[in-house]
Structure 1
Amino acid sequence: MPAARKDQPEPGASVLRLQASDEQRPAGRLLGDELRFHRERLGYTLSDAARAIRGSSSKVSRVERGESPAKPRDVHDLALFYGLSREQQGQLDQLLAQAGNGDVYARFADVTPNFLKRLIRLERTAQKIFVFEPRVVPGLLQTESYARAIVRMMEVGTPDADIERIVALRMQRQVMLDSGVPTLAVLVCEEVLYRLYGDAGVMAEQIGLLLKATLTKRVNVRIVRKDAMVPPYPIFHLTFPDGDSQELAYVEHLDGANYVTQKRQLDKYRRILDNVRADAYERVESTAALKRALQHWERLAATEQSD
């Protein structure tokens, strides 16, 4: 991740230390996370990155954590040091612009195949995750068989070995749930419980996992009523442990995603999530809805086995 250099101020220039706004700080976190990802992917240490920009290891670390603003020249030099493609450098430029001007860059559209990988890395540093999913069981609570069925449907013609790597990546998202953080609140549309992916056995296993999750203290699963008016796209809201202002929303589309850090837009997505939550069953009713779905798929699975 990019190490920053110690730039000297021009003679006579005054240096004013500015504190990042609440909108800029989450955007800086995104940039720092991306820089750290490339550094670690290539096996470089903080010292390696620091030498590339003639800075210190501690400065690189602060930039990667989003605690210090990254300078454009440092980001450019790190991109060259990491050998990033033009497309990857463009992603960093978008993040840098957003981190530097939260008012103008309310969001950035990530239309690269890496948009989900970025979310996965951010999930691992979050304290709280709130997810609404209208189409499938959220990835953080998918079984391996359910995830494989979805990937096979979406990645038609992809070799089996690549399918398995994609599934393995999705499963990595769940490792963090064993560490005590983050807490997870999930809103799932009731129709999703009856939407077939794989076969009846796969669905019974998946619903069983959701039921098991409702028994834990850190996972809160609520089922949204069938007649509820809901947005047609998934929404993630992530809160980080270093203050209430440290938050962002992730809104997924068919071929990409938007990362939202501007306060006005964050307020909008919080209201949407609150409205969906108001149309969800409470814990007891949600558990009952899951049990009905489980019985449905278990009956079908038994029928399939007897045929």
Structure 2
Amino acid sequence: MPDYDEPEETGSTLPRRQLGRYLKEAREATGLTVERAAALMEWNKSTLSRLERGVTEKVRVRDVAALCENYGLDEEKTDAAKQLAEQAPARSWWRSYSDVIAAKFNTYVGLEAGAAELAIFQPLIVPGILQTAEYAGILDRQYFPKDSDAELKRRIALRMQRQHGVTRQRHPVQLSVVLHETVLRTVVGGPRVMVAQLRHIADLSTRENVRVRVLPFRAGFPTGIVVSQFIIMTFPKDSRGKPVEPTIVFAESFTGDVYLEGSEDVRRCHQTFRTLLAATLDDRPSRDLIREIAREHDSER
């Protein structure tokens, strides 16, 4: 389990950063420099630079629309950028699953890919970053019943690609996961699927950058309340020792997702994760239990 620094407040917030990244990618795709793109808007270079870094306090939708036109973006992409510009720069940013940002920018996946450390608590289901293709496929076929086979394959491929951040040789993400025992015993797709899934988790947990701990039934409620799933994303630091992004907590639910950036929210989630972690089995006993439950599923085949 990595040691976490106290969360640090920064000037930018999630919608602003998402917009800035998107506009920067669009500009670079056209081959325009910051200087040239700013000149087309009759701006100073610093004005566009601040917008791309997500530190502009006020963003005008008409300016974003003009940039999109300069970059040759189509109507759909322009509308998505304009909706980002309209988002209030709050420290806690709520979006529903149907929000255009989910479809156009895949917010969580982009943040996960840039994180240096992930701390995940999951009480019900195997986290996406640990799922096998079969386990993921069973869930996606149920959640996206109207998707074609090709669309489902793309969803699964994305899930598998996310795991590359854990298994890559250079600077793999440091992953700490607390799984409730319920995750291991809830059957998805039948015993055969569960056997492969649990053995996959156990194998990944042998990597130096991965720690998977099991919160057993007998641990009760270590925090005194029911805790929903959450993920703490900590980002690498730049050459000046400053994080490239503030620490973000992501919590998913049936009605929507919430992203928390406020220092007090992040601190509380760190503390909750530590409390849960302290109630888990140690690394080796956790791995042993995962393999034991896999054998139990195997005996039911």
Please report the TM-score for the alignment, with normalisation by the length of structure 1: 0.76
Q: How does 1:200-219 map to 2 (within 5 A)?
A: 200-219=191-210
Task: Say if 2:126 is the partner of 1:137.
Answer: yes
CA distance in 2, matches of 1:65, 1:126: 17
CA distance in 1, matches of 2:197, 2:291: 12
CA distance in 2, matches of 1:263, 1:24: 10
- Residues 200 and 42 of structure 1: CA distance in aligned 2, closer, same or farther (over 3 Å): farther
CA distance in 1, matches of 2:12, 2:185: 37
Q: How does 1:156-235 map to 2 (within 5 A)?
A: 156-177=145-166, 178=168, 179-227=170-218, 228-229=220-221, 231-235=226-230
Task: Say if 2:9 is the partner of 1:23.
Answer: yes
Secondary structure of the 1:186 match is strand
Secondary structure of the 1:47 match is coil
- Structure 1 position 184, deviation (Å): 0.6
CA distance in 2, matches of 1:143, 1:42: 37
Q: How does 1:41-190 map to 2 (within 5 A)?
A: 44-45=29-30, 47=32, 51=37, 53-54=41-42, 63-66=51-54, 68-69=55-56, 71-73=58-60, 74-75=63-64, 77-78=66-67, 82=73, 83=75, 84=77, 86=79, 89-94=82-87, 97-98=88-89, 105-111=90-96, 112=99, 114-115=101-102, 117-177=106-166, 178=168, 179-190=170-181
- Residues 56 and 143 of structure 1: CA distance in aligned 2, closer, same or farther (over 3 Å): farther
User: Would you say the 8 A contact 1:109–1:258 is kept in 2?
Assistant: yes
CA distance in 1, matches of 2:210, 2:122: 15
Residue 270 of structure 2 corresponds to 270
- Structure 1 position 197, deviation (Å): 1.0
- Structure 1 position 131, deviation (Å): 0.7
Secondary structure of the 2:233 match is strand
Residue 17 of structure 1 corresponds to none
- Residues 65 and 170 of structure 1: CA distance in aligned 2, closer, same or farther (over 3 Å): farther
User: Would you say the 8 A contact 1:200–1:297 is kept in 2?
Assistant: yes
Please report the TM-score for the alignment, with normalisation by the length of structure 2: 0.77
CA distance in 2, matches of 1:180, 1:191: 32
CA distance in 2, matches of 1:26, 1:299: 53
CA distance in 1, matches of 2:31, 2:181: 47
User: Would you say the 8 A contact 1:126–1:181 is kept in 2?
Assistant: no
CA distance in 2, matches of 1:262, 1:119: 17
Question: How many residue pairs get matched?
Answer: 271
CA distance in 1, matches of 2:12, 2:175: 20
Secondary structure of the 1:124 match is helix
User: Would you say the 8 A contact 1:26–1:261 is kept in 2?
Assistant: no
- Residues 106 and 205 of structure 1: CA distance in aligned 2, closer, same or farther (over 3 Å): same
User: Unpaired segments of 5 or more residues in structure 1?
Assistant: 1-20, 99-104, 302-307
- Structure 1 position 141, deviation (Å): 0.9
User: Would you say the 8 A contact 2:65–2:78 is kept in 1?
Assistant: no
Secondary structure of the 1:72 match is coil
CA distance in 1, matches of 2:32, 2:262: 33
- Structure 1 position 54, deviation (Å): 4.8
CA distance in 2, matches of 1:41, 1:194: 45
| Backbone CA RMSD of aligned residues | 3.1
Secondary structure of the 2:189 match is coil
- Residues 295 and 176 of structure 1: CA distance in aligned 2, closer, same or farther (over 3 Å): same
In the TM superposition, what whole-angstrom CA distance separates every residue of 1:17-41 from its partner, at most 9, and x where no partner exists? Answer: xxxx94344625x533344346647
Identity of aligned pairs, percent? 23
User: Would you say the 8 A contact 2:135–2:189 is kept in 1?
Assistant: yes
Residue 237 of structure 1 corresponds to 232
Task: Say if 2:29 is the partner of 1:36.
Answer: no
- Residues 38 and 135 of structure 1: CA distance in aligned 2, closer, same or farther (over 3 Å): farther
